[in-house]
Amino acid sequence: MRVSTPTECRWHFPTPSEWPEDDDVVAVGADLEPDTLVYAYTHGMFPMFIDKKHSQLGWFSPVERGVIPLDGLRITRSMRQSARKFQCTVNTAFIDVMNECATSHTQGNWIDQKFVTAYSHLHQMGLAHSIEVWDNNQQLVGGLYGVRINNFFAGESMFHHQADASKVALMTLVDLMVLDGMSLLDTQWQTEHLESLGCIEVPRSLYLSWLAEAVK
């Protein structure tokens, strides 16, 4: 897919030296235009609403960042068995995956139409991607989406309607990243679920150094 590079960001974001040391929110405001999003991701930030009613954006850079080492994904026997009964595709149903992530669980309730539109633009530019998981009836039962910039992938959200479907999507993502020589898989935060799959926490400063190398 042809990748289109956005122009320089129009907003002034604080630099890491200006970020609060004990707060995951490092900036407020701006927009979801492609140039803004690409600047944010390449500088260690991602957007979520901090006041959804008034559409106020917060830009997050967690003090402790969740990362899955590409050689550290924990694959269980159940996941391997599930992988054999599902079919995985890439970038065939991007908007459907986003909509499922938005409605399948409460953790996705920050994904509204503005986010779907914004990330769909990135998808059209070759910067946002989805992995879809289908059952034998060709029903979409799991998936994930995120942003790729060079050797960096920012996982945004995932969902499942059948056991292990989202885990199989993650397995597929890691396999593809390894095949393409990528180096950094960001999960934003470490949840209990992600920790069981091999996610670790790293300090913000270390994450930023890994990120700088990955996006070069």
Decide if 213 is inside a domain.
no
pLDDT at 180: 97
CA torsion angle 105 67 60 147 (round to 10): -70
Decide if 10 is inside a domain.
no
Decide if 137 is inside a domain.
yes
User: Domain range spanning residue 164?
Assistant: 66-202
Domain count, the chain: 1
Decide if 109 is inside a domain.
yes
Decide if 105 is inside a domain.
yes
What angle do the packed helices 94-104 and 113-124 form, to 10 degrees? 150
Closest CA to 37 of 103, 117, 151: 117
In angstroms, the CA 4 to CA 22 distance is: 36
Decide if 78 is inside a domain.
yes
Q: Where are the alpha helices (DSSP H) in 108-191?
A: 113-124, 165-179
118: tokens are 């914004």
Decide if 166 is inside a domain.
yes
Decide if 79 is inside a domain.
yes
The structure's pTM equals: 0.93
CATH number at residue 72: 3.40.630.70
CA distances from 180 to 70, 151, 152, 174, 176 (A): 12, 8, 11, 10, 6
pLDDT one digit per residue (tens) for the chain, 216 residues: 344 455 578 999 999 999 999 999 999 999 999 999 999 999 999 999 987 666 789 999 999 999 999 999 999 998 999 899 999 999 999 999 999 999 976 554 779 999 999 999 999 999 999 999 999 999 999 999 999 999 999 999 999 999 999 999 999 999 999 999 999 999 999 999 999 999 999 999 999 999 999 999
CB atoms within 10 A of CB 86: 19
